[in-house]
């Protein structure tokens, strides 16, 4: 039997949001600003959510939405704007100038953990209810006009009636699983390599991200702040981070970033964290079933090479918030009805770009010399052709929402 809910536990809302990652939190923020009531349910505690390491690159459009929602004060103060990236291959370096190639667009380095902290603080102070350690156990009445979320919070089983449910709870989340298997189709691709990622207490050795193609495998130089570096190495699937000593990691990074000429050198420092990130692509279609909607990782996953994951999630909920606002203000369901198609157009472009960056820059196991020459030919074209460089820059800095 469901126990009576205490006064602070809502039993009815317009939009029930499952998941307090960037997608769920930003959607709640946007809905609250439009006067639409919602409740956010998150299975983990606040500390876990705010420390969950994920993406760190924000597209121009993502920054614009965060600013419009009032969630960019610290981003504007502490974020690192970047006007390009560097490609390294065949002992050479070539810079892609985003503003020059995209009409002024750029990206920002600002970790997902910080985006989440900012949104959580706003939500708890000025927003709709946000319940941590609220485990959704069932999504009920999914075929009806009034679905419900059954969840456990503070040891009590509760039920939240909703007009709509939005799943921002990841690929294995309760909302995606509530859509009947025959009503959804998932397209997937696996990759035969992973990333070994490290955090190091050392100033970044470059002012912008460096993507390196090497016969030894891919490497990426990124950063979290002016004093903290974030770096990645391509490694075989199943790699144990414990098998990589700090010295081995730095030596391998040096080898993969090496240039044929010049005095550039990778700065070393204490490594404070190591982890292995598997890589895969996934898209679930459609992103709507009745009054259930999917957003972010619940609908799609991209390999991190193209820096699209967090930005796709923001694009999804921006489109969805506009649709709910139109419904709230005019009663029109046109934008809600078009939500899945609108988002999937952008999702598949981002999937293709992420695949392109991944397949062009990584060295597959037992890769043939022919395939390597194809990769180098493509990188040569990007370096030589403004049209090819502009295509890369436009996708990296972010395509329009529609």
Looking at the annotation, which residues are catalytic?
82, 211, 304, 308, 396
**Do residues 87 and 213 make contact, with C-beta atoms less than 8 angstroms apart?**
yes
Give Cβ neighbours of residue 46 (< 8 Å, ≥ 6 apart).
Answer: 120, 132
- What distances in angstroms separate CA 291 from CA 62, 272, 285, 379, one per listed residue? 26, 44, 15, 45
Rounded to the nearest 10 degrees, what angle do helices 309-330 and 60-68 cross at?
40
Burial 103-115 (b: 16+ CB within 10 A, else e): eebbbbbbbbbbb
**Do residues 115 and 123 make contact, with C-beta atoms less than 8 angstroms apart?**
no
Classify burial at 269, counting beta carbons within 10 Å of its beta carbon; exposed 0-12, middle 13-18, buried 19 or more.
middle
* Nearest partner of 283 among 352, 186, 174, 171, judged by Cα: 186
Burial 53-79 (b: 16+ CB within 10 A, else e): ebbbbbbbbbbbbbeebebbeebeeeb
**Residue with the two structure tokens 């597209």:** 59
Alpha carbon distance 221, 231 (integer Å): 5
**Do residues 268 and 201 make contact, with C-beta atoms less than 8 angstroms apart?**
no
Classify burial at 272, counting beta carbons within 10 Å of its beta carbon; exposed 0-12, middle 13-18, buried 19 or more.
exposed
CB atoms closer than 10 angstroms to residue 339 = 22
Provide the sign of the torsion angle of the four alpha carbons 328, 330, 335, 336, taken in this order.
Answer: positive
């Amino acid at each position: 039997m469901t126990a009576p809910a205490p006064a602070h536990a809502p039993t009815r809302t317009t939009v029930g949001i499952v998941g307090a990652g960037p997608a769920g939190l930003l959607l709640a923020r946007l809905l609250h600003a439009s006067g639409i009531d919602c409740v956010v349910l998150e299975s983990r505690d606040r500390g876990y959510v705010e420390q969950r390491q994920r993406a760190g690159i924000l597209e121009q459009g993502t920054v614009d939405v965060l600013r419009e929602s009032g969630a960019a004060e610290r981003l504007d103060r502490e974020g690192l704007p970047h006007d390009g990236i560097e490609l390294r291959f065949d002992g050479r370096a070539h810079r892609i100038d985003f503003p020059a190639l995209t009409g002024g667009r750029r990206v920002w380095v600002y970790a997902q953990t910080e985006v989440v902290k900012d949104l959580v603080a706003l939500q708890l102070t000025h927003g709709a209810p946000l319940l941590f350690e609220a485990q959704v156990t069932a999504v009920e009445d999914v075929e009806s006009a009034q679905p419900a979320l059954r969840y456990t919070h503070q040891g009590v089983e509760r039920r939240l009636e909703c007009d709509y449910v939005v799943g921002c709870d990841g690929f294995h989340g309760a909302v995606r699983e509530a859509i009947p298997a025959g009503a959804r189709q998932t397209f997937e691709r696996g990759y035969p390599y992973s990333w070994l990622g490290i955090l190091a207490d050392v100033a970044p050795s470059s002012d912008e991200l460096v993507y390196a193609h090497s016969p030894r495998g891919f490497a990426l130089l990124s950063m979290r702040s002016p004093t903290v570096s974030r770096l990645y190495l391509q490694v075989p699937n199943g790699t144990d981070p414990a098998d990589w000593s700090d010295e081995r990691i730095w030596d391998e990074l040096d080898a993969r970033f090496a240039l044929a000429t010049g005095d550039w050198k990778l700065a070393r420092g204490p490594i404070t964290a190591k982890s292995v990130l598997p890589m895969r692509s996934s898209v679930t279609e459609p992103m709507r079933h009745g009054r259930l909607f999917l957003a972010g990782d619940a609908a799609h996953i991209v390999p991190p090479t193209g820096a699209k994951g967090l930005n796709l999630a923001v694009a999804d909920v921006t489109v969805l918030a506009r649709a709910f606002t139109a419904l709230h203000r005019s009663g029109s369901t046109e934008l809600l009805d078009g939500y899945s198609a609108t988002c999937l157009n952008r999702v598949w472009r981002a999937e293709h770009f992420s695949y392109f960056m991944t397949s062009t820059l990584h060295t597959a196991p037992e890769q043939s010399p022919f395939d390597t020459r194809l990769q180098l030919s493509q990188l040569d074209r990007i370096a030589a052709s403004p049209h090819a460089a502009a295509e890369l820059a436009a996708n990296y800095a972010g395509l329009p929402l529609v």
